[in-house]
Amino acid sequence: MNIFFTFDYELFLGNLSGSPERCVIRPTEALMRIAATHGVRFVFFVDSGYLARLAADRVRHPALGREYDAVLRQIDTLKRNKHEVQLHIHPGWRRAIYDDGNWKHDNERYRLHDYSKTEARGIVLEYARTLEEAAQGKTLAFRAGGWCIQPFEHVAEALWDAGIRIDSTVIPGAFSSTGTHEYDFRTAPADSRWRFSCDPAREDRAGRFLEIPIGAQTLGPWFFLKFSAIKLLSKSNSGRFSQFGDGSPIGSSKGEILAKLLKKSVAPISCDGYRSQSLESSYLNAARKNPDADFVVIGHPKAQSRYSLENIDRCIAIMKKDSRNRFTVFSEVAKE
């Protein structure tokens, strides 16, 4: 099995963006320690809009200059430790306002598709260039912010011109229509990778892009009831379930919450917080079905906790017991 541990390296986009120290720097250091213990490599999809704003505003705001330097040092450390840095875009950073140590986000234009095709192209090329300068190397894989990659035609040429050849956004079977998060992956193939042209959720064997989807799992209402209870518990103490990040996400609507509490839903295989409790069972199920397939895990440094780090450490140890498993990164796929 080809195993990808992928992490979206970013701040929060809700009312509190959070500090870089707690949202990315310290939890990423913890993740690197786990990787070093097991001799494996991770992929970090770096939110390049955040990088671009730090670079642009660091002269006016010395604190952002210090932030920028700290993030660049960590990106350099990731590269030196053989981890991979790839492109992640939240275009709303273009409209974010820095005020008294916090970023204020206007999420009315959350997706690349909320901008004209010309504007979206400019964002993609600028942010790809920003990341390449920071990482001192080309990127070839992409993950859309909030999984909002459809309609793909809106950004296809821009991504191709930016050097993107692989996408890892699709969660097969997942669907969302919330105003900010809009995607429909219910038509995705039942494979662990495929080529595509116009829609990453539809196979085109002659397509020039390769989709390596995030692993998907079906979760029932009981999971979200327990998840909600854990979130309430973690707010009242600093125990093993509390996330390291000190910001706040974009809130779910009452309708979204109610739907998850009433019926089954498709979610990504995640190593974040309490969600990491299903990581081992998801891996074992996938290995039984097809030991030669890709197994892509998504996580976020900001959403890690002592509990999730314990689960990641334990699950990697279990995965390494199978000699057929290969921990890999997207640049290795490009060589195949």
Residue 22's pLDDT is: 97
* Strands 265-268 and 216-219, sheet pairing: antiparallel
| Domain total in the chain | 1
**Beta strand 97-99 pairing with 84-89:** unpaired
Helix axes 48-57, 117-135, angle to 10 degrees: 80
For residue 109, the enclosing domain spans 2-331
Q: Which residues pair with 89 in a beta bridge?
A: 144
Give domain status of residue 28, yes or no.
Answer: yes
Asked if the structure places residue 67 within a domain, the reply is yes
Question: Looking at residue 238, what is its pLDDT?
Answer: 60
Nearest-angstrom CA–CA distance, 180 and 191: 28
For residue 145, the SS3 value is: helix
* pTM, entire model: 0.94
Quick check: is 316 in a domain? yes
Specify the 3-state DSSP secondary structure of 218: strand
Q: What does DSSP assign to residue 33? A: H
pLDDT at 173: 97
Q: Is residue 162 part of a domain?
A: yes
- Provide the pLDDT for residue 139: 96
Tokens coding 140: 């070839």
Is residue 284 in a domain? yes
Would you state the pLDDT for residue 217? Answer: 94
For residue 58, tell me if it sits in a domain. yes
Q: Please report, in tens digits, the pLDDT of each residue of the chain (336 residues total).
A: 999 999 999 999 999 999 999 999 999 999 999 999 999 999 999 999 999 999 999 999 999 999 999 999 999 999 999 999 999 999 999 999 999 889 999 899 999 999 999 999 999 999 999 999 999 999 999 999 999 999 999 999 999 999 999 999 999 999 999 889 999 999 999 999 999 999 999 999 999 999 999 999 998 777 767 766 666 666 555 678 889 999 999 866 666 666 666 778 899 999 999 899 999 999 999 999 999 999 999 999 999 999 999 999 999 999 999 999 999 999 999 888
- CATH code of the domain in which 158 resides: 3.20.20.370
Strands 209-211 and 194-196, how do they pair? Answer: antiparallel
336 within a domain of the structure (yes/no): no
Would 39 be classed as within a structural domain? Answer: yes
Helix, strand, coil % (nearest 5) of the chain? Answer: 45, 20, 35
